[in-house]
Amino acid sequence: MNLQKNIIANYIGTIATALAPILALPWYLEALGPEQFGLIGFVAMLQVLLGLLDAGMSQALVREITIRMISPKAEQQRVASLLVGFEGIYWGFAFTAGCFIALIAGIITTHWLKLENLPSEVGKEAIYGAAAIFAAQFPGSVYRSVLVGAQAQVTLNIIMFFSSITRHFGGVIIVLYFPTLLTYLIWHASIAMLETLLRGKMAWRTLNIKRSKIKWELKEMRPPVQFIMSMSGAALLGVLTVQMDRIVLSLMVTIEQFGYYTVAATVAVGMLQLIYPLVQAVLPRAIQLRADPIGLRCLSAKLAALIGLLAVLGALIFIAFGKWLLNFWLKSPAAVTAVYPILSVLLIGTILNAFYNVGYMNWIVHENCHSIMLVNSLALLLSVILIPWLVIWQGTIGAAFGWLAINLIGFFLSLEWIKLKQYDSNN
């Protein structure tokens, strides 16, 4: 395994994935206007909520696939059998959920969105588009798990790089010539489907087995199912928690205010994605060290140090040039005035979330779903109680303070990895 090669590849893919929407955002905002852009933010939030089933499942699959690939007794045919089973689950859920969301588009538009001057038909278009994009891209998660677990991360990131560039820079060209929400949604759904199909093709090529020769076998799915379901339940709470700020805002403020918050959240999430290449590259190695607590703690400490270095550099750049960069990027004093204070708070929460990933990785390695469930349950409870009150008290920025508070809890509880513990080598 070439850890450095995977880290470099992960950064190339992640930087493209994070920066492409950020660079394209001002063009989207100018072409579609703040209200329609607010709907784009709502579409993005729906993608996350619809993807809750995958919360934890893909990470658990990476663990199971890695163990099978490195075990002397393992054969790639076992991984292929596992892939066939979860392929059916992912594609089936994507289709079912997409159809269900499309059917209730009218209810969501009427009882959730505050469209103000936009016609309800535009709101329905956004919901239909969200359903189509989700159905197209959700199955790609299972192929990503195979490529990560099989150490084909270079291949995965080449796909991510070109898909991101095509999706967003092509999207800018589309909305400049056809400035409607519908064209934006059709384009993104089409590229999402192409990326998913390409991931699937490369996942099967990496296993070097023809899919037609593999049959679904219950015995291959039964051993990891309990861990996967536990991880899905625990991570589901986590994803719901980190989206609670946007869920509450979408119900309490106008679509224009929600759009400005989405701008700040897009940048904050983009910055957080700069941590994931490290975690994604280190996770297979950490799984291999699951029976070596000293080696695992040293690896975790190195990961924490690298995250700390990135956090310090990012903070210094934002303090020195943050407002100037926002003015250069958004080219709208009103937008900068609205976005800057929100972004400042969100970025602090993002740094805490980045460090949380070290402890989270250790919990995955040792199948410690209990700790993940505890942290996410506490954070969700706090967010449900705290964020609505903060929004009433402080307005839109109150949601950002809520995001900061829940990440602070996760950060402190995740420091458990610092303690040296002996685990059963069979874990």
User: Cα(230)–Cα(219) distance, rounded to whole angstroms?
Assistant: 19
Res 423: pLDDT: 46
Res 186: pLDDT: 93
Show the 3-state SS of the chain.
CCHHHHHHHHHHHHHHHHHHHHHHHHHHHHHHHHHHHHHHHHHHHHHHHHHHHHCCHHHHHHHHHHHHHHCCCCCHHHHHHHHHHHHHHHHHHHHHHHHHHHHCHHHHHHHCCCCCCCCHHHHHHHHHHHHHHHHHHCCHHHHHHHHHHCCCHHHHHHHHHHHHHHHHHHHHHHHHHCCCHHHHHHHHHHHHHHHHHHHHHHHHHHHCCCHHHCCCCHHHHHHHHHHHHHHHHHHHHHHHHHCHHHHHHHHHCCHHHHHHHHHHHHHHHHHHCCCHHHHHHHHHHHHHCCCCHHHHHHHHHHHHHHHHHHHHHHHHHHHHHHHHHHHHHHCCHHHHHHHHHHHHHHHHHHHHHHHHHHHHHHHHHCCCHHHHHHHHHHHHHHHHHHHHHHHHHHCHHHHHHHHHHHHHHHHHHHHHHHCCCCCCCCC
Low-confidence ranges of the chain (pLDDT < 70): 1-3, 49, 51-56, 70-76, 216-236, 239, 420-427
- Those residues whose C-beta lies under 8 Å from the C-beta of residue 423, and which sit 6 or more positions away, are 290, 291, 293, 366
Res 224: pLDDT: 62
Domain range summary for the chain, segments of one domain joined by +: 3-418
Would you say 307 and 358 are in contact if contact means Cβ atoms under 8 Å apart? yes
Res 233: pLDDT: 66
Res 216: pLDDT: 66
Q: What's phi and psi for 255, nearest 5 deg?
A: -65, -30
pTM of the model: 0.65
Max intra-chain CA distance, the chain: 63
- Those residues whose C-beta lies under 8 Å from the C-beta of residue 370, and which sit 6 or more positions away, are none
Q: What's phi and psi for 325, nearest 5 deg?
A: -65, -40
CB atoms within 10 A of CB 229: 14
Res 343: pLDDT: 93
Res 218: pLDDT: 61
- Those residues whose C-beta lies under 8 Å from the C-beta of residue 306, and which sit 6 or more positions away, are 278
User: Cα(203)–Cα(83) distance, rounded to whole angstroms?
Assistant: 9
The per-residue pLDDT for range 210-238, each reduced to its tens digit, is: 777 777 666 666 656 666 666 666 666 77
The per-residue pLDDT for range 233-284, each reduced to its tens digit, is: 666 677 677 778 888 888 888 877 888 888 888 888 778 877 877 887 788 7
